[in-house]
Structure 1
Amino acid sequence: MFADAAQVNVLRDNGRWTLTAPRRTLSRPAVWGDRVYVLVDGHAAALDRADGSVLWRSPHRVGGELESRQMEFTATGGHLVVPSDRLTGTAEKAGLSVLDAGSGALCWQSDAGPLAAYHTDRRTLVTVHRTGIRPCRITALDLATGTRLWQREVRSLGTAVLAAGRLITFGEDEQGYGTVALDLRSGAERWRDTHFTTMLAVPPAGGAPHPPQLLAWNWIEGHMRWLSLKTGRETGAFEVTRQIYRAQMTNGSRNIWVRDKSRRVHRYDTAAPADGPSHTFHPLRRGLMQYRELAAPGDGWLYAIDRARHLLAAPIGPGGRHLLPRLRWPASVPRRTRRMGYSGVLTAGPGQVYVVPQASVADHRVVALRDGGVLWRLPHDYSDLRPVPTGDGVLLTGHGPERDRLRLVDADTGAAADA
């Protein structure tokens, strides 16, 4: 343990645990395998997921001058990647620190100017730096050593995603606009698609798409195509007559969810392409919040938030048109605690959805939803950090008036070690 380490304590109860730390010192955690990683006062720590035991704490301070709750990092199995500032592309210094995930030792650091984004897998780290208003520099580095593998200058970069050992970008280079797939280790171009695209999406981590697919989405023209990640060939397409916002993939890459300008929610099935959506859901009263994610977990229900910040829920069921009504709350839940905050989000777990409705600090709760209803409500310290589902539990970070808490809570019952 190092000299200025913040004091932490762990309370355990029947497979659940709560780690407490000084006020305003805990970040949102990340999970990889049987370990939970969290920043405590800017120092990385590894916990045993089973009982919360602290396996190691790194003496190296990372995250720059950010408050702990603002810090974000990525766990890749062998390494932790921690940016030193928010990734806006405008900060004068926004470097990266890479730590060994087995010991917390500092592997290397980089400070190459305004960092706009980074992407990583087990072996390679890709950084995007702004070199002007539109031009960007893309650099691939060996994750373990920081050795530069390749670098590429582009005139503009709209979207970049990493999947199947490739970096896929849409932007403008010396050959014009296009979607380009680059080999992560060599930078070699594997394929190019010249259709105009505004956004790209790949299956979420942990999905098992077959075959791996990339969604290329032109929301201006309402045209959706999905391409083979391996070859870039188009394997299907849909024309959407109304302008749509924000596409999401679930069930690997088999289902695509989109919203249109007329408040409707559509589901498209890439595994069984047709001339239109397999499902269409209509909110009863108001449109949906444009930039809030939908949630379609394994319980067979669709969840959303409307513009009045009410929760909506409907069974997905067979194809066709369906209503998307408000979620039915138990009568015991006060009406004032049923609305979502303006920054509210839905976090989907394997079989539940987690939400944090707007409420006073004195009545702050995390709510779990299943089968279109409330599964449990748990009093919790206020936090704007999203829950982190993990196996049969969920990790909740709270910032209380006297201390911070990281709690592993039972996903089915909401039971906590300190409840």
Structure 2
Amino acid sequence: MDVYRDGGQWTLTAPRETLSRPVVEGDRVYVLVDGAATALDRTNGSVLWRSPDRVTGELESWQIDCTATGDHLVVPNGQLAGRTGKAGLSVLDAGSGALLWQSDAGPLDEYHTDRHTLVTVHSTGILPCRITALDLATGSRLWQRDVDSLGSAVIADGRLITYGQDDTGYGVVALDLRSGTELWRNTNHGGGLSLSWHGTAHDPSPLFVWSRFGGRMSWLSVETGDETGHFQVAPRIYAAQVVDGGRSVWLSSNGRRVHRFDASTPADGPSHSFHPLRHGLKRYREVAVPGDGWLYGVDRARRLLAAPIGPGGRRPLPRLRWPKSVPPSARRTNYPGVLTVGPGQVYLETPFARSSADRAVVAVREGRVRWRLPYKFSLAPPVPAGAGVLLVDSPPEHDRLRMVDAETGAFADA
């Protein structure tokens, strides 16, 4: 590995097809290099440590997605959702890279963690699941619970909150994270629920419960499970997302409409409604609300859409106007159509097809292209990092991880 620096930016190079998607925690960047965890100083790219243990099994570098949480780094060694038959976890000390413990308890569907507890979900048959809580520092088992099915789970303020079915039936259930004790149960919601929480220990927030079959968004108290608010829309296929730390909810309706609801006054109906002018929104992709006062989306032709949010009402969601210097062949997103939200800015990648000269990472703010940076093939999306953004790509001679200036697109050339 080598690190190049220029004007406050840095670039790390490594052998081809060895770099994972990086994660940022505080003033550090963690990345897997040929399966070994590595910690970098976020400001200058200096290598702080590299673990001697290769912990990713047979995963390709682009398949690795680790989690940094306080003093620990959690790395799965197989693809999740039980597809590999077995997928274990390795937990490393984030300060030194020392391997603390490993778990290999069967097909791993998902895991959740805060700074002290790791929760794993393993398949035990066609539908049943086993939920296990482990001490993050030692790996010792705290409690275990078998359920008939699990549709959604989230850690919120010292609780594991789940939606699924157990011996009592379907419901939203809160468990004490350290003991597994049931704290409350809410059975007043239909099926197809997804849970999300956007608070912190110092800034509590309600639990958001979205029923995609019933078209109902509910707010529950994390402490008691009581409903504190809700709104209802016509039942149809919606994609829902909560933004602004829980202050607003955005719904995408069959790709033809995007609605915004204020969390403080949801019963008043949508405060904003946007509609694409030509093609509908790309299915199963969320819109982007980066905090610059604009709404972004990708239509089914893989064109970027952009509109100012404004004071409210019904508005069109037209295609972004690109600079004339960008050729038409380079104005489509890549096939996944993923938008990455950074502080006041959105990033997208254009495209896999046609000329490699058209491939670029593009930064957009207030409906304008801020910069466009050519890149080679990569399956790792951009990772916002304070005043910069981390990009991984694979030129012919090596992999590289670049810390790029978010404002200008400047980077250190390797």
Whether the TM-score (by the shorter chain) exceeds 0.5 is yes
**Would you say the 8 A contact 1:209–1:253 is kept in 2?**
no
**Would you say the 8 A contact 1:306–1:312 is kept in 2?**
yes
Cα distance in 2 for partners of 1:135, 1:187 equals: 18
1:395 equivalenced with 2:382 (yes/no): no
**Would you say the 8 A contact 1:313–1:326 is kept in 2?**
yes
Match of 2:193 in 1: 199
What is the identity, as a one-letter code, of the residue corresponding to 1:224? M
Match of 1:340 in 2: 333
Match of 2:359 in 1: 364
SS for the counterpart of 2:267 is: coil
Give CA deviations for 1:130-157 in whole Å, capped at 9, x if unaligned: 0011100000000000000000000011
Cα distance in 1 for partners of 2:376, 2:83 equals: 33
Q: Relative to structure 1, is the Cα distance of residues 241 and 262 closer, same or farther in structure 2, using a 3 angstrom cutoff?
A: farther
Match of 1:178 in 2: 171
Give CA deviations for 1:24-57 in whole Å, capped at 9, x if unaligned: 0100000100000000000000000010000000
Cα distance in 2 for partners of 1:296, 1:398 equals: 26
Match of 2:107 in 1: 114
Match of 1:301 in 2: 294
Displacement after TM superposition at 1:363 (Å): 3.1
Match of 1:99 in 2: 92
Displacement after TM superposition at 1:208 (Å): 9.2
Give CA deviations for 1:146-198 in whole Å, capped at 9, x if unaligned: 00000000001111112222111110001100011111111111211102242
Displacement after TM superposition at 1:91 (Å): 2.0
Displacement after TM superposition at 1:283 (Å): 0.7
Cα distance in 2 for partners of 1:208, 1:326 equals: 40
Match of 1:5 in 2: none
Cα distance in 1 for partners of 2:198, 2:344 equals: 16
Displacement after TM superposition at 1:340 (Å): 1.1
SS for the counterpart of 1:17 is: strand
Match of 1:152 in 2: 145
**Would you say the 8 A contact 1:161–1:202 is kept in 2?**
yes
Q: How does 1:318-329 map to 2 (within 5 A)?
A: 318-329=311-322
Match of 2:261 in 1: 268
**Would you say the 8 A contact 1:278–1:320 is kept in 2?**
yes
What is the identity, as a one-letter code, of the residue corresponding to 1:404? D
Q: How does 1:20-419 map to 2 (within 5 A)?
A: 20-194=13-187, 195-204=189-198, 211-261=204-254, 263-359=256-352, 360-418=355-413
Give CA deviations for 1:189-248 in whole Å, capped at 9, x if unaligned: 12111022423232458x799641111111112111111222211111111014142211
More off after superposition, 141-150 vs 340-349: 340-349
Cα distance in 2 for partners of 1:111, 1:79 equals: 18
Cα distance in 2 for partners of 1:138, 1:246 equals: 27
What is the identity, as a one-letter code, of the residue corresponding to 1:225? S
Cα distance in 2 for partners of 1:356, 1:208 equals: 35
Q: Relative to structure 1, is the Cα distance of residues 409 and 303 closer, same or farther in structure 2, using a 3 angstrom cutoff?
A: same
What is the identity, as a one-letter code, of the residue corresponding to 1:229? V
**Would you say the 8 A contact 2:388–2:405 is kept in 1?**
yes
Q: Relative to structure 1, is the Cα distance of residues 38 and 204 closer, same or farther in structure 2, using a 3 angstrom cutoff?
A: farther
Q: Relative to structure 1, is the Cα distance of residues 328 and 184 closer, same or farther in structure 2, using a 3 angstrom cutoff?
A: same
**Would you say the 8 A contact 2:359–2:374 is kept in 1?**
yes
Cα distance in 2 for partners of 1:232, 1:249 equals: 19
**Would you say the 8 A contact 2:255–2:282 is kept in 1?**
no
TM-score by length of 2: 0.96
Give CA deviations for 1:367-395 in whole Å, capped at 9, x if unaligned: 00000111100112221211110111000
TM-score by length of 1: 0.95
Q: Relative to structure 1, is the Cα distance of residues 262 and 312 closer, same or farther in structure 2, using a 3 angstrom cutoff?
A: closer
What is the identity, as a one-letter code, of the residue corresponding to 1:15? G
**Would you say the 8 A contact 2:49–2:96 is kept in 1?**
yes
What is the identity, as a one-letter code, of the residue corresponding to 2:410? A
What is the identity, as a one-letter code, of the residue corresponding to 2:192? T
Cα distance in 1 for partners of 2:198, 2:359 equals: 30
SS for the counterpart of 2:266 is: coil
More off after superposition, 232-241 vs 109-118: 232-241
Displacement after TM superposition at 1:397 (Å): 0.6
- Structure 2, unmatched stretches of 5+, are none
Aligned Cα RMSD in Å? Answer: 1.5
- Structure 1, unmatched stretches of 5+, are 1-7
SS for the counterpart of 1:202 is: strand
What is the identity, as a one-letter code, of the residue corresponding to 1:290? R
- Indicate the percent of aligned positions where both proteins have the same amino acid: 66
**Would you say the 8 A contact 1:179–1:197 is kept in 2?**
no
